[in-house]
């Protein structure tokens, strides 16, 4: 279901926000209005079995009354519903305790432009997705393999406005293809996500998953232990994604971050540099935070040393520093977080990482990851969909999957090689720009039963 004219949608969202601002009796009012169109084609057993599409509208109103604040929401746009949601936000605010950290709403701000809306993505039809998926299923049939996955596309627009004159608008498209290729005792997986659907090649992703499945047939069992390990960008993403909130000023202030007491000290390897950069060409998301403050590019880690945190307005005031434009919508208990992590990459290919490894493990992806120790950032989870033994500089075949227990801090101190940084998609974290990594002494704690 293609989206309607984005200019028309923006005008509609603006009119809704203006009506609520006029109806509200709060001391201060903030309105978020968003329109989303999503469509998805699902396939399994080499057959398309589902196509769904939906268009949603969400309206969220924050009211400030006598130093108190609260939110209310609706998806109805008639005058009575808009009057009711504005009144509900006021009523809820009056019943909240006074918030001594509450700051005045922002006035008008200027935002750097980002181009993340692609008409070709918004206009993708079910037939477009079905043709691509059909080619993938035919390829799997020919290889005597079984394919399953999804092909999704959609678009969103949002408007933020408040009673002090702030106005922000953002539009973005999204597309995603994920495929798992199954054989009797092996599997392969690949996934990609982008605002521009032309950046996604379902055929190439399926071929990659197919090769992974065929190359890992008849997996053998090797003992658990510490191995030199090569992680694909997707595997890296799902591990380092657990670090994102540790760079929040609130987390450090509350001593809930693994970086508490470690800022300014050498924590990671010399080759680890991390930015939060909403303007990076491989990133997505708006150029402003949940309060409408422009996002800043922030150097988080410089050659292994945590240098900076990100701050909402309220947290910055508590910590006597400047806000960075990373706050969540108010009210919230989390404060802020960097949502556009970008790792500096290297120039080593995965093939070169394999060639320089005497004995190690190559991991396609990880799943079911959970945090064991938040302060040492020890994570546990399992490998999946293509785990390989590397011997004498070559891939020696598939192996049974492992459970791992590994500190992300230790891992990033043991990185021996970095690949080019790419926009990676996984299952445990939102998309980031990360490289493949070759890591020494990665801890696999036990062999799984499949």
- Which tokens hold the place of 245? 């909130």
Give the CA angle between residues 264, 265, 266 to the nearest 5°: 130
363 and 420 both lie in a single domain: yes
Is 321 a domain residue? yes
- How many domains does the chain fold into? 2
Q: Is residue 209 part of a domain?
A: no
Which token pair is 294? 């422009």
User: What tens digit of pLDDT does each residue of 168-204 get?
Assistant: 999 999 999 999 999 999 999 999 999 999 999 999 9
pLDDT at 2 over 60: no
The per-residue pLDDT for 1 is 42
The reply to whether 164 falls in a domain is: yes
Whole-angstrom CA distances from 67 to 26, 94, 185, 319 are 11, 9, 61, 21
Taking every pair of C-alpha atoms in the chain, what is the biggest distance, in angstroms? 73
The pLDDT value given to residue 224: 97
* % of residues, the chain, pLDDT over 90: 97
Strand partners, 34: 58, 158
Task: Mark whether 43 and 170 lie in a shared domain.
Answer: yes
One domain for residues 141 and 271 = no
Asked, for residue 96, whether it belongs to a domain, the answer is yes
Distance between CA 348 and CA 285 in Å, rounded? 29
Instruction: Answer yes or no: is 213 within a domain.
Output: no
CB 27 within 8 A of CB 64: yes
Residues 183 and 227 in one domain: no
Residue 450 confidence (pLDDT) above 90: no
Looking at the structure, tell me whether residues 232 and 370 fall in a common domain. yes
- Residue 4: the pLDDT is 58
Assess if residue 341 is contained within a domain: yes
> What pLDDT, in 10s, does the model give residues 376-385?
999 999 999 9
Q: Give the CATH number of the domain where residue 98 resides.
A: 3.30.2290.10
Is there a contact between 159 and 13 (Cβ–Cβ < 8 Å)? yes
Q: Are residues 179 and 263 in the same domain?
A: no
Residue 344, domain extent: 219-450
Q: Which of 134, 169, 202 is the last residue of a domain?
A: 202
Q: What integer best gives the mean pLDDT of the chain?
A: 97
Q: Residue 214 domain-assigned?
A: no
Find the length of the chain: 450
pTM score of the predicted model: 0.95
Please tell me whether residues 24 and 51 are part of one structural domain: yes
Residues 253 and 136 reside in one and the same domain: no
Within this chain, do residues 178 and 254 fall inside the same structural domain, yes or no?
Answer: no
Work out the average pLDDT over 274-287. Answer: 97
Same domain, 262 and 198: no
Final residue in a domain of this structure, among 161, 177, 202 = 202
Do 252 and 197 share a structural domain?
A: no
Residue 207 located in a structural domain: no
Give 112-147 pLDDT, tens digit per residue: 999 999 999 999 999 999 999 999 999 999 999 999
CB atoms near residue 36 (< 10 Å)? 17
Same domain, 135 and 17: yes
């Amino acid at each position: 279901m293609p989206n309607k004219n984005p200019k028309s949608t923006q005008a509609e969202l603006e009119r809704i926000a203006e009506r609520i601002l006029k109806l509200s009796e709060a001391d201060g009012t903030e309105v978020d209005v968003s329109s989303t169109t999503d469509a998805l084609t699902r396939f399994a057993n080499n057959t398309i079995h589902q196509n769904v599409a939906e268009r949603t509208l969400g309206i969220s109103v924050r009211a400030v009354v006598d130093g108190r604040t609260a939110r209310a929401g609706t998806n109805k746009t008639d005058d009575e519903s808009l009057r009711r949601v504005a009144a509900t936000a006021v009523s809820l605010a009056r019943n909240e305790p006074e918030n001594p950290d509450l700051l005045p709403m922002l006035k008008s701000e200027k935002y750097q432009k980002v181009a993340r809306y692609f008409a070709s993505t918004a206009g993708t039809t079910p037939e477009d997705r079905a043709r691509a998926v059909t080619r993938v299923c035919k390829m799997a049939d020919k290889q005597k393999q079984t394919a399953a996955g999804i092909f999704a596309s959609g678009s969103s627009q949002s408007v933020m406005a408040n009673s002090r004159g702030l106005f922000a608008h953002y539009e973005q498209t999204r597309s995603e293809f994920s495929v798992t290729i199954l054989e009797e005792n092996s599997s392969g997986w690949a996934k990609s996500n982008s605002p521009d659907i032309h950046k996604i090649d379902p055929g190439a992703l399926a071929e990659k998953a197919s090769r992974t499945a065929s190359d890992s047939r008849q997996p053998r069992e090797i003992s658990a232990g510490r191995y030199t390990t090569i992680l694909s960008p997707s595997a890296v993403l799902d591990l380092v994604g657990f670090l994102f909130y540790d760079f929040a000023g609130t987390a450090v202030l509350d001593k809930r971050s693994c970086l508490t007491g470690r800022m300014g000290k050498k924590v990671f390897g010399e080759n680890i540099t991390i930015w939060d950069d909403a303007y990076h060409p491989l990133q997505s998301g708006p150029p402003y935070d949940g309060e409408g403050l422009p996002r800043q590019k922030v150097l988080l880690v410089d050659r292994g040393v945590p240098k900076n945190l990100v701050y909402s307005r309220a947290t910055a005031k508590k910590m006597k520093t400047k806000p960075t434009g990373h706050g969540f919508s108010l009210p919230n208990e989390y404060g802020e977080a960097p949502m556009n992590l970008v790792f500096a990459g290297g120039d080593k290919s995965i093939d070169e990482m394999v060639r320089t490894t005497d004995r190690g493990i190559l991991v396609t992806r990880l799943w079911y990851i959970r945090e064991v120790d938040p302060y040492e950032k020890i994570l546990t989870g399992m490998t999946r969909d293509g785990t390989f033994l590397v011997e004498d500089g070559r891939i020696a075949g598939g192996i049974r999957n492992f459970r791992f227990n590994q500190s992300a801090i230790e891992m990033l101190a043991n990185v021996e090689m970095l690949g080019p940084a790419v926009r990676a998609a996984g299952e445990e974290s939102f998309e980031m720009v990360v490289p493949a990594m070759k890591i020494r002494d990665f801890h696999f704690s036990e062999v799984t039963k499949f």
